[in-house]
Structure 1
């Protein structure tokens, strides 16, 4: 299985994965976020992205020190000074979270932080389950997922539709 905690796998991927790797390296995103155990999650790592897909980077952030995290990102020049950044504090499954959205070159970037290890966050766990399912079900299934996503259906619900899952966000965590 791919080690999704290290972005080196992107170098051997499809065209978009290779380009994502170049952009992440160019801006030293993972080096600058290293204290927060960043992991690239979502659809691009597992090859089911569509045109509008973003680079989802999940991080472990002690939200009691949210300002330090934001300063590290700004002062560490992860985000170029002229970049428009949207910052939101949200609650996801009862857990306080922080979300930053901005652009780096042609990629929309979303940095998502919760006060739990990155590899224990649902985004990472969903991605692993989806990857395993894609490996098991093959290319035809993968193309059906992408087709549903192109119709505006989010990733987990797309898996839910094709697999008959009642609550895909919860059910995928069981895989």
Structure 2
């Protein structure tokens, strides 16, 4: 684990204990969890809230004075969703909360699929995704490109949840391994 990853995990641990996040079952999703972070990667904190409007007010009171604070309510998957952004411990943070358990939210589901893909494909996939992430590509599109998965990368990764590890291993079929991305 790098010093930067350790600092990010410590920042998440502080956030997870913060009274504003009490009762939300906060989870860290995204690149730090997978060891795929790059300069500028944010801490993706996913939580549950029964009342997004009240939670948004609570976040604004707790973190509204932090650098870069922004918050919005939107609908995602037909559910009211809170998305707040600010800085904590030197890291950009995105808090995302809906009225569903974190384990059923997209970010955590993507994380589980990406972790399985990394276990199945190993270092070649990790190297490919890191290279694309450093070039500015988001995590899900980087996985999709490295594995030759067509279509909307966010939806495609969710479709892979139901696949067995053997099926995941065959994703890059024609080349017999993880695809090398085109020149950047």
Aligned to 2:55: 69
Aligned to 1:23: 11
Of residues 116, 120, 126 in structure 2, which corresponds to 1:132?
Answer: 116
Aligned to 1:157: 141
- Residues 38 and 134 of structure 2 are in contact (CA less than 8 Å); yes or no, is this contact kept in structure 1? yes
Counterpart CA distance in 2 for 1:73 and 1:134 is 34
Counterpart CA distance in 1 for 2:121 and 2:141 is 17
- Residues 1-175 of structure 1 aligned to structure 2 (within 5 Å): 13-25=1-13, 28-32=14-18, 33-62=21-50, 65-75=51-61, 77=62, 79=63, 81-167=65-151, 168-173=153-158, 174-175=160-161
- Residues 16 and 44 of structure 1 are in contact (CA less than 8 Å); yes or no, is this contact kept in structure 2? no
RMSD over equivalenced CA pairs, Å? 1.9
Give the structure with higher Rg (CA): 2
| Deviation of 1:121 (Å) | 0.3
- Residues 85 and 102 of structure 1 are in contact (CA less than 8 Å); yes or no, is this contact kept in structure 2? yes
- Residues 100 and 111 of structure 1 are in contact (CA less than 8 Å); yes or no, is this contact kept in structure 2? yes
Structure 1 spans left out of the alignment, 5+ residues: 1-12
| SS of residue in 1 equivalent to 2:80 | strand
Counterpart CA distance in 1 for 2:66 and 2:139 is 32
- Residues 58 and 112 of structure 1 are in contact (CA less than 8 Å); yes or no, is this contact kept in structure 2? yes
Counterpart CA distance in 1 for 2:154 and 2:115 is 15
TM-score, length-normalised on structure 1? Answer: 0.80
- Residues 27 and 47 of structure 2 are in contact (CA less than 8 Å); yes or no, is this contact kept in structure 1? yes
